[in-house]
Chains A and B, each alone.
Chain A
Amino acid sequence: MLNTGFPVLSTLIFLPLAAAVVLFFLRGDNTVRVFTLVVSLIECILLAPILLGFDTTTAQFQFVERHAWIEAWNIYYHLGIDGISVLMVLLTVLLLPICVLCSWKYIGQRVKEFHFCLLLMTTACIGIFSALDFILFYIFWEAMLIPMYLMIAVWGGPQRRYASLKFFLYPLAGSTLFLAAIVAFFINTGTFSIPELMEHRDAFQFQIWTFLAMALAFAIKVPLYPFHTWLPAAHVEAPTAGSVLLASILLKMGTYGFLRFCLPITPAASEFFAPLMITLALISIIVGSFLAIGQSDMKKLIAYSSVAHMGFVTLGIFVFAFRGVEGAIMHMVNHGIITGAMFLMVGLIYERSHSRELTENRGVSSYLPAYTGFLLLFGLAAFGFPGTNGFFSKLLVLLGVFEISYVLGILFVIGLLLGLAYIMRLLLNVGWGSPSSFQKDWTDINVREWVYLVPLGLLVIYLGVAPGRALSFIGPSIENLLDNFHFEKDIRVEPVPEPAPEIVSGMVLEIEASTGEFVQVTHSGAAINRFDHQDFK
């Protein structure tokens, strides 16, 4: 098998980083663009070992790399992917060349810096989906914010300062809580390793608090309803490539976090809070759809539709049914493809008409037929037309939801209908009718645009007609995840009556044993000594 030896994941992560450094020594905008494109294509080729060598029979982590990093703190450079993450890694790499191509003309200033950000984003995103150590994960998690922030703040629209700040602060607020949860896990178990934590069984009270801390971070990222307001602002102001990355990859990190951390590490709390999460997901679906219907800005419309779609994903996860979770993971990928493509379509029309208003882009079908064709295809996929990928994943989620409750199912169906409404509104306004503004120099989709739209279109149809291959990638992992979950969720371990200082001192002693001289140790030791001394007195 190709599964051993060559460090595929590290290469995938560090190739863009190295390329980003090389970028600084290049001159000329086009050189930069071509170079980044070549790097992104090499990345795509590097996916071959994963595509061919991924073992679809096991739920174990694969392509694992594990090296000691900071041994003193039990921190490892630990990478690996399983069924939950593999598709997201594939999607991330696939989107890189598309992002480069779609920014070819649109980004005219600070080209080098833009591509630098793009490459850094890729590094961080692949890192997030493949890290198996909490500290490593957290580094990538935070690192991803900066290039995205820069993309919005430098190449964004008129409101970019407000939007970028909001984008930065909002998830950051969540991540600090997430960091607190990580530290709590470490204090409790002494490890940052995610696979080890999955084996560990924590007290119920402890699970409750860590779940809340993590879930808030992820809920902001997803985003679930009341935490979503950063999303439209960021989407509207971001350049097309930024919007594509935001919608296709960043939002998925929230639901990925639910699947990777909340369900396996805090199963009892996940079960306990499932009604809350389902309620939030339903609110996201219904209210998000209404919000999308009420917009007149195309980009905002699609941004709000993401809120609704991610609600479907969250709903699929928190029904804890095999089909629901399977549908959720598929929908993460499918939504990545579809919404990415929809943002590309908005970007295309914006490059021509310099407006994203529905009313100013009416009736483009008469002079941009190929554009309208693609818009129709992706639009159909967005509301889940049978034969497109959106249908299949929604069908699976719906199956999972109906296993739990048919009332939920009916509400879901209403969500689907509302989804139909906003997409049809978009199509009706943009596609058909009499043209509202037409310049003779508008050209239909050119070769560069065909190049990046066709793969997405093919994926939409391929994953809609033959999702079997993709499903086989994720199947065993979900089975494993849910088996463990259903085994653990009812076991609510009572808190072990262990006084906190003992754990601290134990930890400290361990560290002392391994490293000897250590500032922290001496300091804590002194504190304890003083404590003892006073007691003695």
Chain B
Amino acid sequence: MDIQLAWLCLIFPFIGVLVTPLLARISTSVMNFGAVFFSFLAAVSALMLLPLLFSAEALPLESQLVWLHTPITVSFGVLVDPLSIVVANVGAVISFFIMVYCLGYMKGDPGIMRFWMLMNAFIGSMLLLVLANNLIIIFIGWKLVGLCSYGLIGFYYRDEKKYWIGGPEPYSFDTPSACGVKAFIVTSVGDMLMLGGILIMYYYAGTFNVLELYQTAPEWIPAMAATPGMIILVSILLIAGPVGKSAQFPLHEWLPEAMSGPGPVSALIHAATMVKSGVFLIARFIPIFYYGYWTAGVDEAMYFFLIVAWIGAITAFLAASQGLGALELKKILAYSTVSQIGYMMLALGVAGFSQDLLVKGYAAGTFHLMSHAMFKACLFLCAGTVIHAAHSIYINDMGALRKFLPYTWLFMGLATLSLIGVPPLPGFWSKEAVLLATLESQHILLFLIVLVSVIFTAFYSTRYFGMMFHGKQSRHIKQELKKPHNHVHEGYFPQTFACGVLAAGIVIFGLMGMRVEYALYGLFETQLGQDLAHSTVLSVPSFDKTLIMVLSIGSVLIGVIPAYMFYIARKWDADAVYESSKLVQVVHTFLWNRWYINAFLNWVFINGVMGAARTTAHRIEVAVDGLINRLLPAGVFGISRLSVWFDKRGIDGFLDGSAYHVQNSAGGGLSRLQDGRIQAYLALAVIIALVVCGIIWLS
């Protein structure tokens, strides 16, 4: 029964996709509730998988249908192990609350049928990728997630001006359809490289099945290591996929633009589905490379962990710093997602640094994934409500909204505190687990980078919260309030309800924080022990967290206090600081332009490829065409002209000339013989006869 639940869990959303158009025939409200109902069923099936965690020794469970025999065996199956249960629950349950929120948020939208179908397909694809038992099915789910995100980010595909993002005014805007394409192409860069990595791995291992890959690692990892550099290449290719999907440096630039879809879509992308899939996949690959380095003794395998950890740390810092100066609410939240995913990557990366850290890092990464999913979903849903209420995407167009949206203020406040990492909320526990794992890996530089990012996170979180809900009303809000039918109030009930449930979840989860952490350690110890086919040498985790707690809370305070003074208490004036200091202005421009990475990538890839394409199309192609289609005929016609000339002058000339001379010279001369005198004829005849006889006699 248990394994059937996994099947049901991933099938229900897809049934929802198929049923939605039929339900639409009945009535719109039936369709709305039907679509949400199927995501509810998926969430229930996922929740019913949870009891399996208490008997972790019975896992992993696998069930499969053979899909293809020839030429490669690809099975279509599900794999249930602690990792997939945890991530599937995060995906399904949080998605369900997001769907509930959509009941209010999307009310009356003309494209609502398309919206429900894409949302359910999105959830279904995520569950497919999480629960799949082999890499090809994972890849299919992976690409489907990308496709649905393309459809949802570009949901307002008609590109009306009100859905443009970017700006404000002097800065350039982006249209939703272009943002969708950007997300799709940037993530596909990673996907395609990852496909290459999977295929190289298949070439050595002969299987796509995840469990078989783990089990046969002793055979194929040494074979792969026999080629120098091969494992590094495979690592880079395999990491490229998650780097694209989870928006890590250097493929992180699509996520800030991915907010051009409806609010709940951002919540789904950032919290429950898309960006989490990369973290999930890295976690799937970890046993392979861990085995490679620590058991098989292949030095190159360590690069996998080094790359993951450094990418994670760099991204955490980079994105957090970009969040400091941004003005669009959803963009700040997007930067924070990129940054938080960086923490997860870092934790998973340090998991391979030493044998003690494997379970700690693995559990810390997954734990942060869970807590981040909760608070980020809540943040985005609240942001959707606030943006709708304030009728602006910029936080400087808000201000003092606490009075108008009290519930949202409360829920978003809780989620923000969790993002900052205030005890006892889940963000605190999970961030602390990540920090602890990093510190124990003894890479002080990594640790310092992350600690600085914690400060940044605290600052920008307080900043946007203060600018939204506290301080003075902005001019924009005052104008909105003057309108007779303004929206400056709470949203529909389902919206508030969904935010409330998530906020309550954050509090409960936070209170159970330590307990959850212990549980995850136990689970992953069992799981990794089985995957690696030997008991991991795990010392009991040292929960001497005092130092980490002090450092963590200390850096949070360093970030929060100035932000509080600037934006909530309004004791200090941020504008005055900006005006007075040249350095602040320079740094602000640098951060505002996203470290110029976006511009650089645009310049190299968009302009570069288009330039190359135009050059090829308009220069080289013309040249090749000319070469073959001008030169060749020219040659042919040249030769033909030459032969015509030769015909005329050479052969014809010879013949004509001969004819002329025969006619004029010889003919002229000989015709004189023909003068009509019979004696002459006779004389000629006699002479000729004599000559002939002479010749005959001579020979």
B610 touching A431, Cβ below 8 Å: no
A427 contact set on B, CB distance < 8 A: 181
Q: Contact mask A197-232 → B, CB, 8 Å, 1/0? A: 000000000000000000000000000001101000
CA A413 to CA B613, docked complex, whole Å = 18
B616 touching A291, Cβ below 8 Å: yes
Q: Contacts A385-B147, A410-B196, A424-B181 hold; do A226 and B203 have CB atoms under 8 A apart?
A: no
Quick check: is A158 within 8 A (CB to CB) of the other chain? no
Most buried by A among B196, B200, B624: B196
B610 touching A293, Cβ below 8 Å: yes
B617 contact set on A, CB distance < 8 A: 290-291, 293-295
A472 touching B70, Cβ below 8 Å: yes
Quick check: is B15 within 8 A (CB to CB) of the other chain? no
- In the assembled complex, the CB of B484 is this many whole angstroms from the nearest CB of chain A, namely 30
The residue of chain A having its C-beta at the shortest distance from the C-beta of B180 within the complex is: A432
Quick check: is A10 within 8 A (CB to CB) of the other chain? no
- In the assembled complex, the CB of A237 is this many whole angstroms from the nearest CB of chain B, namely 15
B68 contact set on A, CB distance < 8 A: 467-468
> Which among B160, B175, B610, B613 is the interface contact of A291 at CB below 8 angstroms?
B613
B184 touching A385, Cβ below 8 Å: no
Q: Contacts A398-B195, A468-B70 hold; do A287 and B616 have CB atoms under 8 A apart?
A: yes
B interface, size bucket: 35 or more
A471 contact set on B, CB distance < 8 A: 70-71
B616 touching A290, Cβ below 8 Å: yes
The residue of chain A having its C-beta at the shortest distance from the C-beta of B625 within the complex is: A229
B188 touching A417, Cβ below 8 Å: yes
Binds A, one of B137-145, B283-291, B426-434: B137-145
- In the assembled complex, the CB of B257 is this many whole angstroms from the nearest CB of chain A, namely 14
Quick check: is B69 within 8 A (CB to CB) of the other chain? yes
A398 touching B71, Cβ below 8 Å: no
Q: Contacts A294-B616, A386-B144, A432-B157 hold; do A406 and B200 have CB atoms under 8 A apart?
A: yes
Q: Which of B171-189 contact A (CB under 8 A)?
A: 175, 177-178, 180-181, 184-185, 188-189
B629 touching A229, Cβ below 8 Å: yes
Quick check: is B614 within 8 A (CB to CB) of the other chain? yes
Most buried by B among A420, A428, A431, A475: A428
CA A475 to CA B203, docked complex, whole Å = 20
Q: Contacts A166-B629, A229-B621, A420-B185 hold; do A294 and B178 have CB atoms under 8 A apart?
A: no
Quick check: is A326 within 8 A (CB to CB) of the other chain? yes
A433 touching B159, Cβ below 8 Å: yes
Quick check: is A402 within 8 A (CB to CB) of the other chain? yes
Q: Which of A390-408 contact B (CB under 8 A)?
A: 395-396, 398-399, 402-403, 406
Quick check: is B511 within 8 A (CB to CB) of the other chain? no
A406 touching B233, Cβ below 8 Å: yes
- In the assembled complex, the CB of B654 is this many whole angstroms from the nearest CB of chain A, namely 27
B159 contact set on A, CB distance < 8 A: 363, 432-434
> Which among A387, A410, A421, A475 is the interface contact of B609 at CB below 8 angstroms?
A421
A387 contact set on B, CB distance < 8 A: 140, 143-144
CA A410 to CA B616, docked complex, whole Å = 22
Q: Which of B130-167 contact A (CB under 8 A)?
A: 136, 139-140, 143-144, 147, 154, 157-160
CA A427 to CA B159, docked complex, whole Å = 14
User: How many contacts between A and B, using CB within 8 angstroms?
Assistant: 124
B621 contact set on A, CB distance < 8 A: 229, 291
B177 touching A428, Cβ below 8 Å: yes
- In the assembled complex, the CB of B220 is this many whole angstroms from the nearest CB of chain A, namely 14
Quick check: is B24 within 8 A (CB to CB) of the other chain? no
Quick check: is B199 within 8 A (CB to CB) of the other chain? yes
B193 touching A413, Cβ below 8 Å: yes
- In the assembled complex, the CB of B203 is this many whole angstroms from the nearest CB of chain A, namely 5
Quick check: is B628 within 8 A (CB to CB) of the other chain? yes
Most buried by B among A323, A412, A433: A433
Q: Contacts A417-B192, A432-B154 hold; do A294 and B71 have CB atoms under 8 A apart?
A: no
The residue of chain B having its C-beta at the shortest distance from the C-beta of A415 within the complex is: B192
B192 contact set on A, CB distance < 8 A: 413, 416-417, 420
> Which among B72, B178, B628 is the interface contact of A323 at CB below 8 angstroms?
B72
- In the assembled complex, the CB of A167 is this many whole angstroms from the nearest CB of chain B, namely 12
> Which among B175, B184, B199, B614 is the interface contact of A409 at CB below 8 angstroms?
B199
Quick check: is A366 within 8 A (CB to CB) of the other chain? yes
A396 touching B140, Cβ below 8 Å: no
Quick check: is B612 within 8 A (CB to CB) of the other chain? yes
Quick check: is B202 within 8 A (CB to CB) of the other chain? yes
> Which among A292, A385, A468 is the interface contact of B143 at CB below 8 angstroms?
A385
A428 touching B71, Cβ below 8 Å: no
- In the assembled complex, the CB of B214 is this many whole angstroms from the nearest CB of chain A, namely 22
Quick check: is A365 within 8 A (CB to CB) of the other chain? yes
Quick check: is B483 within 8 A (CB to CB) of the other chain? no
A410 contact set on B, CB distance < 8 A: 196
- In the assembled complex, the CB of B239 is this many whole angstroms from the nearest CB of chain A, namely 15
CA A293 to CA B175, docked complex, whole Å = 21
CA A424 to CA B180, docked complex, whole Å = 10
- In the assembled complex, the CB of A391 is this many whole angstroms from the nearest CB of chain B, namely 8
The residue of chain B having its C-beta at the shortest distance from the C-beta of A226 within the complex is: B624
B199 contact set on A, CB distance < 8 A: 395, 398-399, 402, 409
A386 touching B143, Cβ below 8 Å: yes
Quick check: is B618 within 8 A (CB to CB) of the other chain? yes
B203 touching A229, Cβ below 8 Å: no
CA A471 to CA B628, docked complex, whole Å = 39
Quick check: is A380 within 8 A (CB to CB) of the other chain? yes
B185 touching A403, Cβ below 8 Å: no
The residue of chain B having its C-beta at the shortest distance from the C-beta of A416 within the complex is: B192
The residue of chain B having its C-beta at the shortest distance from the C-beta of A414 within the complex is: B192
A323 contact set on B, CB distance < 8 A: 71-72
Q: Which of B210-228 contact A (CB under 8 A)?
A: none
A460 contact set on B, CB distance < 8 A: none
Quick check: is A382 within 8 A (CB to CB) of the other chain? no
B181 contact set on A, CB distance < 8 A: 424, 427-428
A290 touching B612, Cβ below 8 Å: yes
- In the assembled complex, the CB of B442 is this many whole angstroms from the nearest CB of chain A, namely 35
CA A403 to CA B618, docked complex, whole Å = 36
15 A/B residue pairs, CB under 8 Å, sorted by A: A322-B71, A323-B72, A365-B157, A380-B147, A385-B147, A386-B140, A387-B143, A399-B202, A403-B203, A409-B199, A412-B196, A420-B192, A424-B184, A433-B157, A434-B160
10 closest A-B pairs by beta carbon, nearest first, are: A294-B617, A294-B613, A432-B177, A293-B613, A386-B140, A432-B157, A290-B616, A229-B625, A290-B613, A386-B143
Chain B contacts to A: CB under 8 angstroms:
68-72, 136, 139-140, 143-144, 147, 154, 157-160, 175, 177-178, 180-181, 184-185, 188-189, 192-193, 195-196, 199-200, 202-203, 230, 233, 609-610, 612-618, 620-621, 624-625, 628-629
Excluding A226-B624, A227-B628, A417-B188, 15 further A-B contacts by CB distance (< 8 Å) are A166-B629, A229-B621, A229-B624, A290-B613, A294-B613, A294-B615, A295-B617, A363-B158, A365-B158, A385-B143, A395-B136, A399-B199, A409-B196, A420-B184, A420-B188
